[in-house]
Amino acid sequence: MKQNEKHVKHPFWVMVTKEVSDHVSSWRFIILIAIIALTCLGSMYASLAQFTKATKGADAEGAFFFLRLFTLSDGTLPSFTVFVSFLGPLLGISLGFDAINSEQNRGTLSRILSQPIYRDYIVNAKLVASLIVVSSLFLVLCLMVIGSGLIAIGIPPTPDELMRIIFFMLVGIVYVAFWLNLSIFFSVKFRQAATSALAGIAIWLFFSIFYNMIVELLAKGMAPKGMLSENQVVMYQNFILNLMRFNPAHLFSEATTTLLMPSVRSLGALTMEQMQGAIPTPLPLGQSLLMVWPQVTGLAAGSILLFAIGYYSFMRREIRSR
Amino acid sequence: MTGQLIELVDLTKKYKSFTAVDHINLTVRKGEIFGLLGPNGAGKSTTILMMLGLTEPTGGSAKVCGIDPTRHPISVKEKVGYLPEDVGFYDDRDGLGNLIYTGMLNRMTETDARAKALDLLKRVGLDEEAWTKKTGKYSKGMRQRLGLADVLIKSPELIILDEPTSGIDPQGVRAFLDLIVELRDEQGLTVLFSSHNLHQVQQVCDRVGIFREGKLLAQGDIASLSEQTYGGREHRLEDVYNHYFEGGGQHETK
């Protein structure tokens, strides 16, 4: 009897396993993986082609060769991080846009909820399964970059570089989780999967293209006239920067740039006095992490908030057969 | 037939100003097939959802298998199988896979779930070809049979069937209803059968409750309902039903 109990999987993990298997066997996922893998391979090829030029004259100790694989670009293709920033939301949206409404439309929601499970297992299992898939994908992509880097340059990554890559991966997962939670929320809100997907893509496009334009227009309109003191200029710059930080892609970009480019010492506007006497050495990992802490917590908070709204909407909803 | 498996006392569900279920009092005894009869929108499905703890009542109380579904929905769902109207399955999985999944959600090992699923697939009359066929390719009748197997996998005390025969051809309906009666006779199951089809309800149900606009107008076996309505003269369920729907709305029972 006890041995039998050992093999009984908790219903929540039964659901997670099923969701993961559904994701990885779906055509949607295979197509998306192919796009992401191809673009990342392309950007890796471009960065490797540019590598010799970019690292000429740099000493092996302080040059962070491995990290450059993630950030270098030859101008024809964006860097690996830019691709992740652009395609990450698409991955999140595609994994979540039909999470709940497809269950409702198929008529499986009421059937599953009549089993002895808690209602929130459904939405939680969908999230956990998608996060497992995203994390595996990020791990594979990062290992691919590291592997090809090892082959190309023949120097293993330093522990500091490895840690920075791991943190980059975690920030990437949080960033995709933001879009995933947004699309899960839409899948609760909209009955039609197409509407839910469109809503997600609309927000993604808004932040990718239009938000920056709007902030630029605002910046032009609000630009102070006449002679300004140094403090006023810094305040104005910080205000614009803070507006930009409402964009999750901007937060992700700031966090990854700081983590993968240890030479970045500040993310805000600096006065000449602050720059004076500063030694241009790379920041230690701890300091880089401290610098990106607000960006990462901002992304995590947004992600949790979206999940909470989706969760609440789902829990309040009445379950009918179709 | 002893004991009451369902006991609803003044059960009410309101959506803002609309009353979907209005102070319903109903009992279903162990081992009987009870029919919930009424047109669409009469409150049958809402009553079922409250019995399963899938929606909260705004008034009154419910006891299913001796448990309050509002407070202990999981315990109720362990004992009750529910076949919703137009049941859905994961179309990219086969019938067997869908049943194993339900079994595992009911805390069965994969091996036990598989064994029980195979038994049930045979019991509901789905042939071997159907076991490994994707449910997306099932006919409506096959889906309902698979739905019945899905309901039975947890070995329930009570099964609730919400419009289970809608969209099935007459032959399929006949076979499905026979299967329900067989299951009741073999396993002593209690069945709550919700339908708007008078003929089917009369065919299989021991007792019926007539719903209209959220109210339970009458309940009892067909003979006693006929007696209540026509003073002892024998009538068909259809006559009784028509009586309540042709100005007989004041016959609400307590």
Q: What is the pLDDT of residues B100-111, one digit of tens each?
A: 999 999 999 999
A5: pLDDT strictly greater than 60 = no
So what's the pLDDT on residue B249?
46
- Does residue B18 fall inside a structural domain? yes
A61: pLDDT strictly greater than 60 = no
DSSP A115-174: SSS-THHHHHHHHHHHHHHHHHHHHHHHHHHHHHHHHHH--PPPHHHHHHHHHHHHHHHH
- Whether residue A122 contacts residue A113, with contact meaning beta carbons closer than 8 Å, is answered with yes
Inter-chain CB proximity B109 and A116 less than 8 Å? no
B132 interfaces chain A, CB cutoff of 8 Å: no
| Chain segment B235-250, per-residue pLDDT in tens | 677 777 777 776 554 4
A112 interfaces chain B, CB cutoff of 8 Å: yes
- Does residue B1 fall inside a structural domain? yes
Closest Cβ–Cβ partner in A15, A22, A108 for B88? A108
Inter-chain CB proximity A319 and B49 less than 8 Å? yes
Q: List all residues of chain A from 13 to 52 with a beta carbon under 8 Å from chain B.
A: 14-15, 18, 22, 25
- Does residue B64 fall inside a structural domain? yes
**Where in the sequence is the domain holding B7, given as residue range(s)?**
1-25+43-71
- Does residue B227 fall inside a structural domain? no
Its pTM stands at: 0.88
For range A149-163, the mean pLDDT? 86
So what's the pLDDT on residue B133?
93
CA-nearest residue to A25 within chain B is B92
Which chain A residues are closer than 8 Å to B71 by Cβ? none
Which chain B residues are closer than 8 Å to A110 by Cβ? 54, 82, 84, 88
For range A3-13, the mean pLDDT? 79
A118 interfaces chain B, CB cutoff of 8 Å: yes
- Does residue B167 fall inside a structural domain? no
The whole-angstrom separation of Cα B92 and Cα B71 is: 35
Q: Of the given ranges (A72-86, A199-213, B143-157, B219-233), which has the lowest mean pLDDT?
A: B219-233
A161: pLDDT strictly greater than 70 = yes
B252: pLDDT strictly greater than 50 = no
Q: Of the given ranges (A291-295, B19-23, B199-203), which has the lowest mean pLDDT?
A: B199-203
Inter-chain CB proximity A118 and B84 less than 8 Å? no
Q: Which residue has the tokens 């480019």?
A: A261
B115 interfaces chain A, CB cutoff of 8 Å: no
- Whether residue B11 contacts residue B61, with contact meaning beta carbons closer than 8 Å, is answered with yes
A9 interfaces chain B, CB cutoff of 8 Å: yes
CA-nearest residue to A3 within chain B is B109
Inter-chain CB proximity B80 and A114 less than 8 Å? yes
> What phi, psi does A153 have (nearest 5°)?
-105, -15
For range A24-33, the mean pLDDT? 89
The whole-angstrom separation of Cα A72 and Cα A148 is: 14
Q: Which residue has the tokens 């509901």?
A: B124
The mean pLDDT of chain A is 87
B238 interfaces chain A, CB cutoff of 8 Å: no
- Does residue B52 fall inside a structural domain? yes
Pick from A230-244, A281-295, B20-34, B174-188 the range whose average pLDDT is largest. Answer: B20-34
B143 interfaces chain A, CB cutoff of 8 Å: no
- Does residue B174 fall inside a structural domain? no
Inter-chain CB proximity A18 and B85 less than 8 Å? no
For range A179-197, the mean pLDDT? 96
The residue among A102, A110, A317, A319 with the most chain B CBs within 10 A of its CB, best to mutate, is: A110
> What phi, psi does B133 have (nearest 5°)?
-90, 140
So what's the pLDDT on residue A4?
54
Task: Quote ipTM for the complex.
Answer: 0.89
So what's the pLDDT on residue A80?
86
Which chain B residues are closer than 8 Å to A113 by Cβ? 54
So what's the pLDDT on residue A3?
52
The whole-angstrom distance between A114's CA and the closest CA on chain B is 6
| Chain segment B77-96, per-residue pLDDT in tens | 999 999 988 889 999 999 99
- Does residue B85 fall inside a structural domain? no
So what's the pLDDT on residue A182?
97
How many domains does one find in chain B?
Answer: 1
Q: Which residue has the tokens 């893509």?
A: A201
